[in-house]
Structure 1
Amino acid sequence: MTTQRTWDELGGGMPTEEFRTATEAIVANIEQVIEGKTATVRLALAVLLAEGHLLIEDVPGVGKTKLAKALARSIDCSVRRIQFTPDLLPSDVTGVSVYNQENHDFEFKPGAVFANLVVGDEINRASPKTQSALLECMEERQVTVDGVTYPLQTPFMVIATQNPIEMEGTYPLPEAQRDRFTARIAMGYPDARAELAMLDVHAAADPLDNLGAVSDAATVRGLIATVRGVHVSEPVKQYAIALVTATRESQDLRLGASPRATLQLLRTARAVAALDGRDYVLPDDLQALAVPVLAHRIIPTADSQLSRRTTDAIVADLVHRLPVPTDRRSGTSQHYDRRR
């Protein structure tokens, strides 16, 4: 059985039990602050382990920033927070070269992106020019200022929050930047039980103030190495390509998902499989991730917008209509666990 083998035997990373203990500790720690959102918390952690970036979009007051800060505080590593405002400059994000009168030379002052976890609050309140300052660091994990390139630390993740674009004082994110976010999630309103628990816990004090770290950067690097070793069979790879291709051929869309989306879909599926205790990816993983990973990257046609069809609904419909690999009908997962 694959569950009896260690991840080291499967290509790197940490033992299965150690992986499960570390990830469950992070999830439980975040849930001290975020009530009743286990699936959302696990997806946020999956994006971190997939070496991606997370966009949290929803109306004000539902806990977007709390989720981002809780994830950042759960890991003992460098964390920087950027409050995006209309007057924020690109140099505030990336850094700037300042003339040093003592040695008569320019000295680089690093910006807020020089951290393991960068929390960008209300990212769409800054101008597109400032938003674009994140493009290089999110994709290439480096920053170039005045012709000099500075590498960023590992792990590196941008967790950004934004309000819906219909809200006052917001700018739409550029398409190139949306494509660099691995997944977009919505917090949603809590159910009555979770909101009642929130009133009991949050009324006297903010639990975020006393939230401590339960992991560190070295452990996260081990978790990431473990996720890289998760197996993806050939039929699952072909299914991922078929999902992305369907967005490019859809009559409801004028811009489909990019090849980067295919890669990040598989990376996130590996992380989700590992969090579920598997060392192989199932088509079900891709189906569950299709909306959060693909929907924010695509652009609907004018007719779709007039009919008020959301990109989430379009992607969900494509997943429903696209046939899954035929071996899935046998009811077993042995095919997807087969090593080549």
Structure 2
Amino acid sequence: MDTGTHIVMGVALGSIATLDPVIAHDPMLAQAILIGTLAGSQAPDLDTILKLKNNATYIQNHRGITHSIPAVWLWSLLITGIIFYFYPEVSMFRLWLWTFIAVAFHVFVDLFNAYGTQALRPFTKKWIAFGMINTFDPIIFSLHLVGIGTMFLGAHPGYTFLTIYIVLAGYYVVRFRQQAYIKQAIHKKIPEVEHIITVPTFRFREWHLAITAKDYFYVGRAKNGRIHLLDKFEKCPIPNNPVIEAAKKDENLSAFLSFSPVYRWEVHEYSDHYEVRFTDLRYRSKGYYPFIAVVQLDRDLNIVSSYTGWIFSEGKLRKKLELIPN
């Protein structure tokens, strides 16, 4: 989820903690736990700082080790230790428990986005992405704002957010059923489907689709329960090509391939260089596929420029590559 949603979820968990009578009757403990749930709800995303280095490092590591099983324990212990230093009189166990819940809940809700996480590390580096909830879901965020507003009007914080989370559990069930219906409709429309990736949008009844079939990739949209196919690409395995093999040594392309589950590739040969391009098929926007990896090599197969990330025009891509115009 986005940063704002994780923040309000931290407030919600700190509020639900007050249903424990020990916490409700100890203002210092309640305050410490609220700080813990706020910090815990943000901690796994500290890897966002990797953007300052480069896109490749960020793509390879974001929602990776910081969202792993060991990290959930380490984040909660670290945050608890820091807070307990300033609140030595409170119950360390309750402080740790709710901080742990906040960290674990952060990782849990991230599983439902199309981006996903490597939550099962160190057992596997597989990306787990259920593709049911948008990274920013206006319904989820709005319900949290309603809960915070209701608290300021004097409602009990614990019961307020417990009620909201029961409603949200029902909302997740609705989204799961929507997704299941879409997948069923795709199987009826396209023969020999092997894999379906659903990417929810801001609109409740609209989803982006990336579909892998036996011989083709399909890109489409589900709107109001109907499947609309927008693009179709022949499914071509990556060949054992010297140009592509040289391009794979680039950190930007390596990062892209470690993250993207469905893509198409192209190799273009020019008078003085080659260009290798990989395009993620999950994020079609207004006829354009913005998430890409591009590597340019000279005639001796030396890498001279590369880029991976989000680009919404060819002109901006050329500026990022900063060298060879086609």
TM-score range, shorter chain: under 0.3
Provide TM-score, normalisation by structure 1. Answer: 0.24
Of structures 1 and 2, the one with the larger relative CO (CA 8 A, separation 6+) is: 1
- Whose radius of gyration is greater, 1 or 2? 2
Bigger strand fraction: 2
Q: TM-score, normalised by structure 2?
A: 0.24
